[in-house]
Amino acid sequence: MARKKRSGKKRLPLGVIVAVSILAVGIVGFLAYQYYTVKAWSNLIYPGVKIEGENLGGKNKEQAKQIINQKYGSVVVKKKLNISTSDRTYTLDYSKLNPKYNIDEVVNQALSYGKELNLLKKYKLVKSSEVKEYKLKFTYDSKPVNELIDTIEKEINKDPVDAKLNGSGGRFTVVADKNGSKLQKEVLQKEVASKIDGPVDSDVNIKAPIEAVTAKITADKLSAVNYRISSFSTNYGSISSAERANNIILATRSINRKILMPGDTFSFNDVVGERTAEKGYQAAPVIIGNQIDSGLGGGICQVSSTLYNAILRANINSVERAHHSLPSHYVPLGMDATVDFGNLDYKFKNTLDYPLFIEADASGGIVSFNIYSNEALSSTITEVRSQVYQTLQPSVKYVDDPTLAVGQTEQTQAPSTGYKVKVTKKAIKNGVVISDEVIADDFYKPVDAVIKRGTKK
């Protein structure tokens, strides 16, 4: 018999085929299992995902929002901001801040976590213990906070009260100074900003940072004033109208009891202020240019000049001083100090080691200044001298005037003699000259007389 030919292909053993089939079914089944497992979490937050420590794995969007809202959104409005001082506590309810957490945004982020991955990675997230944490962002309206801090500042900030001297004539008693207080506003603002997003279930308690503000003039320093170191006075009663006298009295009162600590600068215009009708100043004769005119506050240059002389005799030089354009008759030449608010000022700096106390009076037609400091200065005597080293006589200028008849004259400008004068100040301590200086070299220009003469025939 003829034999049949065998096929060239070998058949797989049945066992192998069965095994492969089982494996394929297993893989498909596992993939199906993965798919349906992952699908079950498609609208749920993956395990291990937290918001502010709250595990939201297995929760859907609405459940997660409800949980976080209950823990944060509905609780934060019940909080309070408490800022305390030594006297009281200022409280601000969070409900007035329109406080908000970005709950919707973060819940969406938690729900979306891992959803863009492939099937295998999603499955691993579902089965793994990996932790993913999200933080909430807190926002609020800062205006009520700023308004509260502004209120605290207004109530806390108090200027210190300087010590002062009571009494006169060198018999003084010291009234003690008082410290002021100041809120460290920027420090408080930064602390509030850093703590306002604190634990949601507890109030924010802050102690307001307040610093003491010491007085510039303290009792211990002012107690050193016990000796009159200089004085000077001039007579205004015999040369003044009622208006001029009024102005002198007002200006003198403004300066009375003024205290200058070492290093302080005195400004006549700052202390006396602008001379206005509202303050009671009146129009009176005043030197303007080369002639005497009427001006509001006329006469107070006698006050500044008298003070200038008293200060010189306290061995203190000027920081700013100008002489008049015409000689003043109430002080020697070169010893005047003119002032004009906004234009000319008289200033000096307390260069002594002790405070200065200025006692001023304008009663009885005499304006006088007494300068007090410490008795340690009594060993120093100051001499001030004025020396005219040139006198210049004015001339006469004639101006033809066709409106006046021939032979008729009219003086339109009075003459004034000119002078060049030096002022020296010598300080003598215990009989020894410690300084001798020229403090002024003034030139009062001569003013020619101007006379109109008639040419009309």
pLDDT band at 297 (very low <50, low <70, confident <90, very high): confident
367 pLDDT higher than 80: yes
- pLDDT number for residue 32: 67
Question: Of 214-228, 230-244, 281-295, which gets the smallest average pLDDT?
Answer: 281-295
1 pLDDT higher than 50: no
Residues 213 and 127 in one domain: no
Residues 309 and 450 in one domain: yes
Q: And the tokens for 119?
A: 């099937």
Residues 346 and 366 in one domain: yes
Percent of the chain clearing pLDDT 70 (strictly above): 92
Does residue 440 fall inside a structural domain? yes
What is the spatial distance between Cα 331 and Cα 309, in angstroms, rounded to a whole number? 9
Q: Could you give the 3-state DSSP secondary structure of residue 187?
A: helix
The partner residues of 454 in beta bridges, in order of sequence, read 401
Residues 208 and 249 in one domain: no
Stronger pLDDT, 13 or 242, i.e. the higher one? 242
Indicate whether this model's pTM tops 0.85: no
Residues 312 and 445 in one domain: yes
- Region 185-203: mean pLDDT is 95
321-344 burial: b if 16+ Cβ within 10 Å, else e: bbbbebbbebbbbbbbbbbbbeeb
User: Please, are residues 243 and 281 in contact by the beta-carbon 8 Å criterion?
Assistant: no
191 pLDDT higher than 50: yes
Q: What are the CA-CA distances from residue 74 to residues 65, 100, 400 (Å)?
A: 12, 10, 99
Does residue 439 fall inside a structural domain? yes
Residues 406 and 274 in one domain: yes
- pLDDT number for residue 125: 86
Does residue 20 fall inside a structural domain? no
What is the spatial distance between Cα 327 and Cα 444, in angstroms, rounded to a whole number? 7
The DSSP result for 324-370, as a single string, is: -SS--SSS-TT-----BTTTB--EEE--SSS-EEEEEE-GGGEEEEE
Give φ, ψ of 149 to 5 degrees. Answer: -65, -40
Residues 134 and 205 in one domain: no
Helical (H) or strand (E) element with 253 = helix 242-255
Residues 334 and 430 in one domain: yes
Q: How many domains does the chain have?
A: 3
Give φ, ψ of 394 to 5 degrees. Answer: -75, 160
Give 335-354 pLDDT, tens digit per residue.
Answer: 999 999 999 999 999 999 99
What is the spatial distance between Cα 287 and Cα 344, in angstroms, rounded to a whole number? 13
Give 34-43 pLDDT, tens digit per residue.
Answer: 777 888 888 9
- pLDDT number for residue 230: 97
Mean pLDDT score of the chain: 91
The DSSP result for 75-116, as a single string, is: HHTT-EEEEE-SS-EEEEEGGGG--EE-HHHHHHHHHHTTTT
Domain of residue 81 covers: 29-139
Residues 119 and 189 in one domain: no
Give 51-76 pLDDT, tens digit per residue.
Answer: 999 999 999 999 999 999 999 989 99
- Region 415-431: mean pLDDT is 95
Beta-sheet pairing, 283-288 with 380-392 = unpaired
Residues 87 and 148 in one domain: no
- pLDDT number for residue 289: 64
Q: CA angle at residue 69 from 64 to 71, to 5 degrees?
A: 100
Does the CA dihedral 272-278-284-289 come out positive or negative?
positive
Residues in the chain, overall count? 457
Does residue 258 fall inside a structural domain? yes
Does residue 353 fall inside a structural domain? yes
User: For residue 130, how many C-alpha atoms fall within 13 Å in the half-sphere facing its CB?
Assistant: 13
Residues 67 and 133 in one domain: yes
- pLDDT number for residue 36: 77
Residues 264 and 328 in one domain: yes
Q: CA angle at residue 231 from 368 to 338, to 5 degrees?
A: 60
Does residue 62 fall inside a structural domain? yes
pLDDT band at 160 (very low <50, low <70, confident <90, very high): very high
What is the spatial distance between Cα 84 and Cα 204, in angstroms, rounded to a whole number? 11
Does residue 3 fall inside a structural domain? no
10 pLDDT higher than 70: no
Does residue 12 fall inside a structural domain? no
- pLDDT number for residue 21: 61
